[in-house]
Amino acid sequence: MVEKIQLTLRDSKAARWTALILIALMMFFAYMFVDVMSPLQTLVEAKRGWNPDVFGTYAASEYFLNVCGFLILAGIILDKWKVRFTGTLSASLMVGGAVIKYYAISEGFQDTALCGWLDSWWTDLPGTAKLACLGFMIFGCGCEMAGITVSRAIAKWFEGKEMALAMGLEMAIARLGVFAVLSLSPLLADKFNDSIVAPIAFCTVLLLIGLINFIVFTFMDRKLDRQIGAGQQEAASDEQFKFSDIKYIFGSKMFWLIALLCVLYYSAIFPFQRYATNFLESTLNVTSGEAANLFRWFPILAMILTPVLGSFIDYKGKGASMLMYGALIMIICHLSYAFLLPAYPTKWFALLITVVLGVSFSLVPAALWPSVPKVIDGKILGSAYALIFWIQNIGLCFVPKIIGNVLNSTNPGVAEAREAAMAQGTVAPAYDYTVPMLIFASFGVLAFILGIWLKREDVVKGYGLELPNIKK
């Protein structure tokens, strides 16, 4: 009888997995919106005049406000006001930012006085791109805030249970959004006569559905809090979050190793996704649709393997080792993109490299995020996740812009020639992506070195990164 009284909502498999599905679907829709324009780079270049430098600025804008400090604020909000408030706020920001971006890309906006005013000031960035960047910045604030909130929610609902499996499944569902949008975005654009607007409008509606999903989750989370004593872990004053506690995060060597490994690894993945369609289009001499259909398979193995690897970590451990293996595979894939694929430009080979890169994308996240609660105190876990995401966002903000600049500088005159060719309806020249691919590979090398260091620290100090998560 006593045992029954102690059971909570998270002790029910059906309840905790339902909670996971609700928040994972929100991230699924968010990931769709993040990459909705990735397969449309050539179309945007033709219809809105966005060259690679402009497109890189747009891609980087998602992270700008986060780098300026919003993510740190998000972590404090999460630790002070918890999952329900922070998640609802983040989903609302995503919807608001998406609406602004939709308006910026819409057909009629180019002829408005606002667009003319935006064209006239600051930089020569087109007015459409300036407003789209603003919307993407606001969306990015919500998306990254949602990311840390979901990680904190899973840590709460799966404490002492299948935490790595749950985080792996959440990431797998989110990545399914990448697969889906790389297929749907060109399809919707083509169905509506080369429309850039249609895919963005579709994904904006999905974000609204994601907000509704999270609101449903808040009712479940409120009930769980009542069952565990309305936040009993925060009852004692010495366990309350204090802003000064952040110094303990910055003073942790393990935090810095994980954060730096994270920023290096993801800087070679997410910015690459923005350019991958055009890279395959240029390297294989195929259409944008064919290139997008090839790259959409990137997250497939990640979707399948991440939950499996998460379950393996739950029961067997070896998290630190997986971080090293993931970085090594990524190095091999980016070097293959740089040298082997241009020498043997076949679709099957491109597909093989892309799918193998997905293996790396399953190894690292499956091991990385469940490792954080092992090295950071629970009362500042939200701030720790936020600071890791903040450091990660610094890379994600600057790397797309760097890649766009490098692509322009290593392909002199190509952007202008492409613009002229598109205007005349002739075949546009392709970009050479060798140097950008080498930059991505170099990030992997540094991440691999940090992985070795992280494993050594774990062996010396016994944080348990190589131990299973499930307590027997």
Helices 298-315 and 319-335 meet at what angle, rounded to 10? 160
Contacts 24+ apart (CB under 8 A), 95-98: 95/142, 95/204, 95/207, 95/208, 95/211, 96/138, 96/139, 96/142, 97/135, 97/136, 97/137, 97/138, 97/139, 97/140, 97/141, 97/142, 98/33, 98/135, 98/139, 98/200, 98/203, 98/204, 98/207
* Mean pLDDT, all residues of the chain: 87
Give the model's pLDDT for residue 171.
81
Band of the pLDDT at 415, cuts 50, 70, 90? confident
Give the model's pLDDT for residue 155.
83
Higher pLDDT, 348 or 117: 348
Residue 136 lies in a domain: yes
Nearest Cα to Cα of residue 24 among 175, 144, 199, 205: 175
Nearest Cα to Cα of residue 282 among 134, 392, 417, 183: 417
Averaged over 224-235, what is the pLDDT? 65
Per-position DSSP letters for 294-332, written without gaps between them = HHTTHHHHHHHHHHHHHHHHHHT--HHHHHHHHHHHHHH
User: Using one digit for the tens of pLDDT, what is the confidence trace for 421-449?
Assistant: 877 777 778 899 999 999 999 999 999 99
Nearest Cα to Cα of residue 60 among 68, 88, 416: 68
Record the tokens describing residue 21, joined without a space: 């599905």
User: Using one digit for the tens of pLDDT, what is the confidence trace for 262-308?
Assistant: 999 999 998 998 899 899 999 999 988 899 889 988 888 777 887 78
Band of the pLDDT at 238, cuts 50, 70, 90? very low
Band of the pLDDT at 471, cuts 50, 70, 90? low
Residue 389 lies in a domain: yes
Q: What is the CATH number of the domain that holds 337?
A: 1.20.1250.20
Q: Which residues of 157-190 are buried (b: 16+ CB within 10 A; e: fewer)?
A: bbeebbbbbbbbbbbbbbbbbbbbbbbbbbbbbe
Distances (CA, A) of 266 to 31, 45, 98, 340: 14, 26, 23, 23
User: Containing H/E element for 75?
Assistant: helix 71-105
Band of the pLDDT at 235, cuts 50, 70, 90? very low
Rounded Cα distance, 3 and 143, in Å: 39
pLDDT at residue 115 tops 50: yes
Averaged over 382-390, what is the pLDDT? 81
Give the CA dihedral 349, 351, 356, 360, nearest 10 degrees. Answer: 130
User: Using one digit for the tens of pLDDT, what is the confidence trace for 16-70?
Assistant: 999 999 999 999 999 999 999 988 888 888 888 888 888 888 988 998 898 888 9
Give the model's pLDDT for residue 133.
94
What's the half-sphere exposure (Cβ side, CA atoms, 13 Å) at 108? Answer: 1
Band of the pLDDT at 241, cuts 50, 70, 90? low
Residue 442 lies in a domain: yes
Give the model's pLDDT for residue 243.
64
Give the model's pLDDT for residue 231.
47
User: Using one digit for the tens of pLDDT, what is the confidence trace for 158-208?
Assistant: 887 888 788 878 888 888 898 889 889 989 998 998 889 999 999 999 999
Counted domains in the chain: 1
Give the model's pLDDT for residue 4.
45
pLDDT at residue 237 tops 50: no
Residue 51 lies in a domain: yes
* 3-state SS record for 177-189: HHHHHHHHHHHHH
Give the model's pLDDT for residue 6.
61
User: Using one digit for the tens of pLDDT, what is the confidence trace for 339-382?
Assistant: 999 999 999 999 999 999 988 988 887 788 778 888 887 777 77
Residue 426 lies in a domain: yes
Averaged over 399-419, what is the pLDDT? 89
Ranking 64-73, 107-116, 299-308, 321-330 by mean pLDDT, the lowest is: 299-308
Residue 237 lies in a domain: no
Band of the pLDDT at 148, cuts 50, 70, 90? confident
Residue 68 lies in a domain: yes
Band of the pLDDT at 472, cuts 50, 70, 90? low
Band of the pLDDT at 7, cuts 50, 70, 90? confident
Backbone torsions φ then ψ of 209, nearest 5 degrees = -65, -40
Residue 230 lies in a domain: no
pLDDT at residue 88 tops 90: yes
Q: Which residue range(s) make up the domain with 182?
A: 10-224+246-461
